[in-house]
């Protein structure tokens, strides 16, 4: 690309929309209309080579999220993109600390890496992002989603001035998001876009490192980073403040902590092996472990001066369960409304909690009270000894992390996580990400994900919704229902379907261990909300486990 001190036009389209066959003609028409740069939404990159063959010569920048690139394989993706004729990349959720390596590898293939900055981007990150840029910087003109607007941000000139302060006067800027008419482009008349491929090398690493070995991280669009940074700092300040912990622990009596730990004699007798103990998080106020993290996050929100808190489906000021889970959680939803919550159903994606929530990493800190109490309670009841194993269901991971983390330095304690196996791991209807998933990026972090060959995350299904002593298994819907029945009929405790997976896995583990060993199963929630779901699936799944029980509208008949 030739240097020029004039304005230019960059245009975005999605590869394959409306059809793959339409993409190349659209690219050619954009070039003929005078577009200087084409931003092509991935995952589909095949049209680039076809477009080059058809005479499209303007720079084509691939724009998208990091997970499809990670799934495809970075090196293979870069090579194939370069071979197809791509000019560079805009990866909207790749943080600078990750972009160092990616940008260097792009340069090795003759490709450019284009960072994004947003109105909320801090000066510190602007300095880093300015150093990463080797061609131009994409300036997001407004917060929120992409698309046409009646005007660009009133502070766009100031934002561009801030970017130039850290990136240098010669670094070209491309202003995007909402520039759709002559009126919206007027404020940009004095902002030339200069295209230059003079490479630069990143000089320093961002000071935050939110990673756990190969996992974790902050794979989020630039517009969200400042919000996460505020939350991160608020969390770190809170956990370092004794007054915060006093305020949190003062709420234990409201929660019902410590939750009880007791032996399950009849369940133990049924298993015929190790002694089974139950940690009763189902007895907490609101009926599960979730209140531990919910109240802590509300306290942090208050410290940050926030007046509302958006949380997972527990009683709170505003919650967002999706329609499918709203139906399954109907009783909980009604309880929330009784308590004054504003319940908003998330209608995007699969309409399950997968699309509605993503818990921040501070969850494990506040849920660790589960394992801490278990440790002390068990030692007090067993002459200072620790259990041989602890068992928890694994979905979002908060209750299993809460149970497991206090035992991470006790190698003699086995940790067993039981995932939702749905219809079986041999089908595509399950939620066993740790058992059957592969590394990917989802909900802003690198983790294990069920995904297809294009890096698109699969829908998950279940009847419910890296550690050396940790094992993970999957329990099918029928097996979870067996766990539900066992605890209900042998111990008089109706567990949540999520917890029922752990019950089944724990009983199977107990059968394999001698009678002088002990295991603790975390009963993470109570099952009132799931009784209707059990009634609906029993006609089918009951046959698999020999449970012939039917719901009757009028039992007197």
Question: So which residues are the catalytic ones?
Answer: 39, 50
Q: Describe the strand order of the beta sheet including 10-14 as a list of residue ranges.
A: 10-14, 37-41, 60-64, 88-91, 112-113
CA 421 to centroid of chain Cα atoms: 20
Concatenate the DSSP letters of all residues of 388-449 into one string. SEEEEEESSSHHHHHHHGGGTT-TTSEEEEEEEEET-TTSS----HHHH-EEEEETTEEEEE
Interhelix angle for 123-132 vs 156-167, to 10°?
60
Half-sphere CA count of 306, side-chain side, radius 13 A: 15
CA-CA distance, 487 to 266, in Å (whole number)? 9
Concatenate the DSSP letters of all residues of 97-116 into one string. HHHHHHHHHHHHTT-EE--E
- Cβ contacts of residue 393 below 8 Å, gap of 6+? 399, 400, 417, 418, 419, 420, 464, 498, 499, 500, 501, 502, 505, 522, 524
101-106 long-range contacts, Cβ below 8 Å, gap at least 24? 102/74, 103/132, 103/134, 103/202, 104/201, 105/74, 105/75, 105/78, 106/78
Nearest in space to 298 (alpha carbons), one of 312, 283, 282: 312
Q: What is the DSSP letter of 2?
A: -
- Cβ contacts of residue 410 below 8 Å, gap of 6+? 386
């Amino acid at each position: 690309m030739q240097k020029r001190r004039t304005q230019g036009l960059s245009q975005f389209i999605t590869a394959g929309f409306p059809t793959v066959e339409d993409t190349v003609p659209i690219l050619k028409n954009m070039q003929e209309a005078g577009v200087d740069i084409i931003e092509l939404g991935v995952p589909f990159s095949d049209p680039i080579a076809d477009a080059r063959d058809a005479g499209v010569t303007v720079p084509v920048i691939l724009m998208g999220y990091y997970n499809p690139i990670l799934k495809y394989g970075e090196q293979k993706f870069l090579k194939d993109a370069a071979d197809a004729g791509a000019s560079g990349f805009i990866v909207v959720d790749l943080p600078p600390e990750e972009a160092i390596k990616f940008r260097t590898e792009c340069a090795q293939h003759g490709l450019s890496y284009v960072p994004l900055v947003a109105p909320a981007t801090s000066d510190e990150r602007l300095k880093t992002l300015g150093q990463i840029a080797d061609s131009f910087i994409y300036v997001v003109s407004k917060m929120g989603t992409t698309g046409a607007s009646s005007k660009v941000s009133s502070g766009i000139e100031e934002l561009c001035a801030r970017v130039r302060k850290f990136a240098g006067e010669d670094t070209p800027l491309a202003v995007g998001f909402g520039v759709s008419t002559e009126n919206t482009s007027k404020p940009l008349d004095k902002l030339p876009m200069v295209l230059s491929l003079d490479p630069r090398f990143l000089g320093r690493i961002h000071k935050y490192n939110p990673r756990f070995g190969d996992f974790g991280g902050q794979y989020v669009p630039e517009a969200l980073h400042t919000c996460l940074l505020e939350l991160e700092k608020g969390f770190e300040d809170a956990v370092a403040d004794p007054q915060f912990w006093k305020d949190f622990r003062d709420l234990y009596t409201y929660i019902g902590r410590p939750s009880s730990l007791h032996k399950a004699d009849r369940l133990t007798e049924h298993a015929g092996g190790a002694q089974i103990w139950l940690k009763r998080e189902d007895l907490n106020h609101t009926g599960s472990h979730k209140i531990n993290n919910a109240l802590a996050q509300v306290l942090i929100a208050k410290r940050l001066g926030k007046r509302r808190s958006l949380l997972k489906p527990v009683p709170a000021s505003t919650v967002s369960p999706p329609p499918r889970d709203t139906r399954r959680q109907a009783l909980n939803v009604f309880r929330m409304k009784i308590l004054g919550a504003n319940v908003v159903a998330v209608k995007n994606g699969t309409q399950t909690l997968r699309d509605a929530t993503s818990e921040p990493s501070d969850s494990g800190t506040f849920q660790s009270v589960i394992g801490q109490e278990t440790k002390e309670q068990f030692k007090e009841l067993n002459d200072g000894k620790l259990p041989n194993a602890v068992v928890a269901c694994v979905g979002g991971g908060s209750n299993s992390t809460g149970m497991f983390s206090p035992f991470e330095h006790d190698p003699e304690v086995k940790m067993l996580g039981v995932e939702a196996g749905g219809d079986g791991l041999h089908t595509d209807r399950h939620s066993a990400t740790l058992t059957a998933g592969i590394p990917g990026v989802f909900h802003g972090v690198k983790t294990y994900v069920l995904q297809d060959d294009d890096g698109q995350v699969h829908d998950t299904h279940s009847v419910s919704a890296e550690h050396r002593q940790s094992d993970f298994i999957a329990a099918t819907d029928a097996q979870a229902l067996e766990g539900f029945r066992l605890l209900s009929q042998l111990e008089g405790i109706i567990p949540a379907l999520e917890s029922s997976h752990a019950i089944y896995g724990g009983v199977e583990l107990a059968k394999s261990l001698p009678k002088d060993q002990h295991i603790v199963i975390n009963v993470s929630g109570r099952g009132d909300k799931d009784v209707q779901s059990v009634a609906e699936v029993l006609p089918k799944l009951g046959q698999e486990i020999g449970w012939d029980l039917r719901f009757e509208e009028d039992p007197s008949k």
